Chains A and B, each alone.
Chain A
């Protein structure tokens, strides 16, 4: 039987502290899906060629298939399972659902996580910026157009929500 030596790993996944004993040869993708049963993160190639396994590590979108789990010690990991705030869907999730941003849904978790990181850096991205940010996430169903529209819609929603929240405060 295979297996490198197992090592204790601490991660913070979706704001939960997780301690898990992992083989050193495991990627973050395998630990998320197999050890932590967070199967929302998908895989399409495991070689960095599709973007389906994108998660956020310390706020940045990265490919979990090419990241050793052990390199994530103490890191903040965000996956699709943590995108909604309990029963409150993230505006991106709603926008994708409303505007046809998904079909089969397999690339969707990776797309959403990448888009989340984009909107945190760039509140109202241009189409060119959206294309660039999501250019590492392949999709075979949608032809991308409704994905781009969904990201734009979500950006507007977030901005409006923030504006109205600011309005309430002032």
Chain B
């Protein structure tokens, strides 16, 4: 093995502020996004989308459209007999609807024509006759309706899935607590609204193979879905993920349009492109679920939590998407942020006639994080404990197990809290600012990659290959996809560091199922950690091959061979060296053609109960934030004036990018806190069954402009985690989590009202202020959590009570748990 010493002192690339490798291509307009691709003889596709929220399709007559000049092909649901879906448990989507439409925007037919305008014209010539079905507009309606379920695999009517777990006896824990706090919250759904609209181009070669270029975060999952839906060997399909113009989770599902253009290209033997309109992007959605939550939390006078009971209710929209995973995630990570001795939860996802919800930055976690952090603020207020101190007293020890058997690694939360408290001047501000101004604090934790794949398998989650040859050039291949987060830069920088060369010497090929080894995709903050570890392994193997050859040639002990500044040298006598290129030649002489691989699979989960596959991660990041706000009491308008944030990243690989991810997370959090909301609009039911997207445009879906963005003061806490590549943890999602509750808590500090809902609009703040002025409970938020008949909870004893990670051995629980396991949860655990 070659000489290895990785530390902050010796890093040449890692930890240094650097221009990311794709920056110059992007600032010159050379980066090719999917819609920038144009191929010879290319045709254009448009989709006809349902104008009804819920209906049976009786007939689809495409004869007039097919005859329209310039139209090459019209496809309908009849052309796509096979269902697909991201989770094996919810294979409920079709490229084009076949029997039924489930929301306004569900695609029914596709036209492929010489140009987009012609395709649009032909869409209006397709005659669809529908038989309308009752509209399910809200979670309340979904819970009540017994007719016309959207999906026939639903657990009951429109209830997609109910889950119940108990980690220890929570009733007992609450009964023994000095105080029990009960709070209900609502987090409205919102969407990614990446700047780039989804686009795809498919091209078929004469041998029958097909290539799809697409704006996708997960080419591997698109690859699988294409193979299934088109009933074709995956080996004959190539999926290339183009650089994404932003993803945030919105491009992690395989989409209708990707399958439609692939099929069309194969039928026509010509390239076919589709670029969605912005409205269609809102229809694709898969955004943040609307979640209603109820927390019952036991606290002792010293501020220690004794236990928590959490209930969540998710509006899933019309399809499964990642929904089962989302449902688990509204509960699974709660015990990661703070120590929780006992924890029980119940979660329910329902179907409604709206665009499907799915994963958005933080996937299922921001909603309960909002609830718990606001509740902690209430607890601190009631117990007269400083909110920062309260939280500092609840931090779990590093390298411990949570009550739900998640293994946490390094925990930098205390340092994060200390940092934002001191930097923000918290002690001089909290409860001390004049009315109208306030500060609020909140924290969060997030996983660095999901410990389980979407589909059950024992293969690596990320694979990296490195090719080197006598030119001295290094090419690194990985299935990971750069969605803007900078994963290509991470890949190149790690390989560069290990091989002691420069980033310009390393080319990277990513997100191409023909060329690159599988990486599961850019979701769950998994890429830096998983791809990174695989990349280091591959690079170190290359380094070892080179070192052994150089050691032989220069007669140096192999463990004395160092790599730096494009030289391979004797660490004892650096003058004994050769250039990197000469070294690769030596290696090629000695070993033959050079290629190495690295693989990464996450450590085995400690959870051994069904459903325990959601939540485990190789390590977790931690964040704390203080928000400063000003509230205008006449209008209820909240201005966030500054955000102080500290993020525990393990190790910062490129500080410029890390800071950018943190600020970007804060930005999205401020937007979600104040304005982002994907609503739906029900017309008066007496006059219409219509249920339409409320704000399917960039004007109506409110996001922060440069005027609305507060100043952000960022601190990065570095405490390398042994499971991370050179110690790195995630940064893409965690920093969003504390922002919404920090703002809500700051509003309370400013004017003494509680808005237990997100977004916190001026309308809600003013309403709360009016209630306050009238002497009422100054709170706006849901009054109650709906009555839901829950299944018997699966009982798992926490580790400190002797639990072994399996569903309980307690006889009175065992029977119920077993029944529940078999009936309800088995599928979910296998898939998530």
Which A residues form the contact surface with B (CB < 8 A)? 1-3, 33-34, 37-47, 49-50, 52, 79-81, 83-84, 89, 92-94, 96-100, 102-109, 112, 130-132, 134-148
In contact, A1 and B118 (Cβ under 8 angstroms): yes
Within 8 Å by CB of B195, from A83, A106, A148, lies: A106
Whole-angstrom distance between the alpha carbons of A40 and B24 in the complex? 13
In the complex, what distance in Å separates the CA atom of A24 from the CA atom of B555? 74
Q: Which of B22, B697, B698 contacts A138 (CB 8 A)?
A: B698
Closest partner residue, chain B, to A131 (CB atom): B706
Tell which of B28, B483, B703 touches A93, judged by Cβ atoms closer than 8 Å: B28
Contacts of A143 in B (CB 8 A): 660, 663-668, 709, 712
**The stretch of B238-246, B296-304, B570-578 that contacts the partner chain:** B238-246
CB of A142 within 8 A of CB of B663, answer: yes
B197 within 8 A of A: yes
Chain B contact residues: helix, strand, loop or mixed: loop
**B689 beta carbon closer than 8 Å to chain A:** no
Q: Which residues of B contact A43 (CB under 8 A)?
A: 35, 197
**Looking at the complex, which one of B20, B30, B243, B248 makes contact with A40 (CB distance below 8 Å)?**
B30
| Residues of B with C-beta under 8 A to A40 | 28-30
Q: Once bound together, how far apart are the Cα atoms of A41 and B29, in whole Å?
A: 7
Which chain B residue lies CB-closest to A128? B707
Residue pair A89, B28 in contact (C-beta under 8 Å): yes
Q: Are B712 and A89 in contact (CB under 8 A)?
A: no
Residue of B nearest to A33 (CB): B36
Write out the residue numbers on chain B whose beta carbons fall within 8 Å of the beta carbon of A112: 27
Q: How far is the CA of A109 from the CA of B22 in the complex (A)?
A: 14
The answer to whether B132 has its CB under 8 Å from any CB of chain A is no
Complex: how many Å from CA A79 to CA B38?
A: 19
For the complex, is B383 an interface residue (Cβ under 8 Å from A)?
A: no
Closest 7 pairs between A and B when the two form their complex, measured CB to CB: A40-B29, A104-B484, A143-B667, A106-B245, A105-B26, A80-B29, A1-B70
Q: Show 23 A/B contacts (Cβ-Cβ < 8 Å), sorted by A.
A: A40-B28, A42-B33, A49-B697, A80-B29, A84-B28, A89-B27, A97-B19, A97-B20, A97-B23, A97-B26, A98-B19, A100-B656, A103-B484, A103-B664, A104-B246, A104-B483, A104-B484, A105-B27, A140-B668, A141-B246, A141-B664, A142-B667, A146-B663
B69 contacts the other chain (CB 8 A):
yes
* Residue contact A103 to B486, C-beta cutoff 8 Å: yes
Given contacts A42-B195, A45-B698, A93-B27, contact A140 B663 (CB under 8 A): no
How far is it, in angstroms, between the C-alpha of A96 and the C-alpha of B484 when the chains are bound? 14
Question: Which residues of B (52-106) have their CB < 8 Å from a CB of A?
Answer: 69-70
CA distance A112 to B412 in the complex (A): 37
Instruction: List 14 additional contacts besides A104-B246, A105-B243, A146-B663; criterion CB under 8 Å.
Output: A37-B38, A44-B278, A47-B698, A50-B698, A79-B29, A81-B28, A89-B27, A100-B656, A103-B486, A107-B195, A137-B706, A140-B193, A145-B663, A146-B659
Q: How far is the CB of B385 from chain A (nearest CB, A)?
A: 32
Question: Which residues of the other chain, A, contact B25 by a CB distance below 8 angstroms?
Answer: 105
**B787 adjacent to chain A (CB < 8 Å):** no
Q: How far is the CB of A132 from chain B (nearest CB, A)?
A: 7
Residue of B whose beta carbon sits closest to that of A98 = B19
Closest to A147 in B: B706
Chain B residues closer than 8 Å to A100, beta-carbon distance:
656-657, 659-660
Chain B residues, Cβ within 8 Å of A93: 24, 27-28
Question: Chain A residues near B704 (CB, 8 Å)?
Answer: 144
In the complex, chain A residues whose CB is within 8 Å of the CB of B69: 1
Cα of A92 to Cα of B615 in the assembled complex, Å: 43
B114 located at the interface, meaning its Cβ lies under 8 Å from any Cβ of chain A in the complex = yes
Determine if A96 and B660 form an interchain contact, defined as CB atoms under 8 angstroms apart: no
B471 touches A (CB below 8 Å): no
B residues less than 8 Å from A147 (CB atoms):
706
